[in-house]
Amino acid sequence: MSKISLDISGKISPEHVKAISEIKKTAEALGLKFFIVGATARDFVLSCLYGVKAPRMTLDIDFGVKIKNWESYAKIEAELLKSGRFNQSKAKQRFVFENTIIDIIPFGDISNDENQISWPPEYSVIMNVSGFEEAYQNATTIILNQEPYLEIKVPTLPGLAVLKILSWEHSYPERQKDAEDLLFIMNNYEHTDIMDKFLNERIDLLESESFDYKKTGIRILGQDMAKICNPLTLAEIKDIFMKETSETSNFNLIAHMMGITHEFDDILDLLLKLKQGFFEIK
């Protein structure tokens, strides 16, 4: 299989290109590292790169910005507002660019030992940013536009899957869409360039799954997720898998994955395959 091009120029709305360009210009002027996360990253990778139709449209863009302290975040806010192109929302992390909602989520040294950030000045709004560091360190660069040239970092699908399962866990029951996105990634991992691994590196695994490409893909996804996790994140996701697939489980994750086209037993089977792959990496 030939390697897929990471150029998705012409596939992104002009407004999104403008918004991302402005954020990138501001972050780079301040010397800050960042990447796109959330459903936008899902669409850029699966829909734009691989032609897999997303289960729902997303109109907002989520950024993860790696910073040391709240003073650095305040500089981002000030620069965006000074440009006159962004308005700030009531939500701590939210800005509006024309008709696009922008969330800018800080991670890195700004978080505590439990990967939480708490927003000043009240420190009552708390977010968990588990997995952000690993997803950023293993991110890939894609081209969004040629004229003017614009490239951006996004998580790989394993990195995005890590973010999704952790976001679901820490926000339950509010974030059903994270569970749905995780299932969407699981169902479509076989349609990416994972085929190279099937045929060149992991033919033994494909044979062990009786040449079931979907289950093999999900198992490899689990392995690829585990490979990028630090020990703390690895342990946390293992706990989620154990809790959500045990005989005594309430199966909350599966319940949030279920739709009119999915049955409980089918999803449990796929989730167990993801768990199997994840636990195969020591």
Mean pLDDT for 68-97 is 94
Which pLDDT belongs to residue 259?
74
Q: Residue 197: pLDDT above 90?
A: no
Which phi and psi (to 5°) does residue 49 adopt?
Answer: -80, -40
**What number of other Cβ atoms are within 10 A of residue 226's Cβ?**
20
Please name every residue paired with 150 in a beta bridge, in sequence order, or none if there are none: 145
Residue 156 φ/ψ region, left for φ over 0, alpha for ψ in the -120 to 50 degree band, beta for the rest: beta
- C-alpha–C-alpha distance, residues 125 and 120, integer Å: 8
pLDDT at residue number 3: 45
Query: What is the rounded average pLDDT for all residues in the chain?
Result: 92
Cis peptide before 158 (omega within 30 of 0): no
8 Å CB contact between 149 and 15 = no
Q: For 3-16, write each residue's pLDDT tens digit.
A: 456 999 999 999 99
What are the pLDDT digits (tens) for 133-152? 999 999 999 999 999 999 99
Q: What is the DSSP string of 176-202?
A: HHHHHHHHHHHHHGGGTTTHHIIIII-
**13 touches 48 (CB < 8 A):** no
Is the confidence at residue 1, as pLDDT, over 60?
A: no
Are 37 and 105 in contact by the 8 Å Cβ rule? The answer is yes
Tokens of residue 270, six digits: 């796929």
**Domains, the chain, ordered by start:** 14-155 (3.30.460), 162-279 (no CATH)
**The pLDDT of residue 87 is above 90:** yes
Residue 237 has pLDDT above 80, yes or no: yes
pTM: predicted TM-score of the whole model, two decimal places: 0.94
Residues of the chain above pLDDT 70, percent:
97
Q: Is the pLDDT of residue 47 over 80?
A: yes
Q: How far apart are CA 143 and CA 44, in angstroms?
A: 10
